[in-house]
Homo-oligomer: A and B are copies of this chain.
């Protein structure tokens, strides 16, 4: 029995693996693999339509929202977004609260002016900056809802008077949220939605219409809307895995039910870590992520030994990101509470031996 705490690609529901495995041998009783069906067939059109409908239902989206599945990962959106909406004559506002947000800023600067409204870089992104103002004349305000590497999460939606854009790659569909307040949401699929190699984009039709022209066809959101995410051959299998994961999420009660489970998992883990003095939590308590818990050990010499203990219990993906060290436990939607129970039991046992 493995406990998969990978930060992404990461654990997906077992039922998704089982269904995907079957579909590779025989998709829906067609005698064909999901890997060999044409994308412009009713077979795949049904997959795409159901995936889009489930996103709309689970996120409770209003009529003015478009749902797209696009090639690439969030790193693709880092430049595709400003390529569509920014120019040398305009400014976009960005919050710099983590490594991924800072990469988004770097790409945006290639296309126009960037106003960084606040940054927590000086304190190694251990918190979300909490006082800043967003200029009303910026073309959009971009932030990252959850910082996978640093283990921080923004728990409220910022109030701004301009189009609101969020990279939700690592916490989308993990908690209730008024998704309609955003003009543009993107998320690489490989954490809470599906397999690596596809982005989910949810955006206001009106906002998309204001995009730049004269950019490459594959980069123009408007063209993807006009072609229903089939401007070219889409990543068929990755979208199918999204569909299966969305179905699972609906089957367990949707986002509200998911949030309750995610809260349980995070509470158990953070409470355990706080109760055991051998562990250190570097993140400001109010900004702790419910998806990625980051910690170190007060005695660094114990880290190798704790890592070994985790391995012996079949735990994978517990090492911190190569840029920060320590440990990172990812608690994405598909991770069962039982994995956190096993981990926290191990932590207590380890602390009793080494505390």
Contact = CB atoms under 8 A, between A and B. Distances in A.
Interface of A: 1-2, 4, 6-12, 16-18, 20-22, 24-25, 30-33, 35-40, 71-76, 78-79, 83, 103, 106-107, 110, 188, 190, 195-198, 214-219, 231-238, 241, 314, 316-317, 322
A279 to B, nearest CB: 23
B71 A9 contact: no
Contacts of A8: 38, 233
Contacts of A110: 214-216
A238 B197 contact: yes
A30 B316 CA distance: 11
A236 B195 contact: yes
Contacts of A74: 232
A217 B100 CA distance: 13
Given A20-B24, A25-B21, A79-B216, A9 B197 contact: no
Closest 9 CB pairs of A and B: A197-B235, A79-B216, A75-B232, A21-B24, A71-B72, A2-B31, A197-B197, A17-B33, A196-B236
As for how many copies of this chain the complex holds, the number is: 2
Given A9-B38, A35-B195, A218 B75 contact: yes
B197 A79 contact: no
Nearest to A317: B38
A37 B4 CA distance: 9
Nearest to A194: B35
A38 B6 contact: yes
A9 B24 CA distance: 13
A196 B237 contact: yes
Contacts of A72: 71-72, 218, 232
Contacts of A7: 38
Contacts of A188: 233
Contacts of A31: 1-2, 314
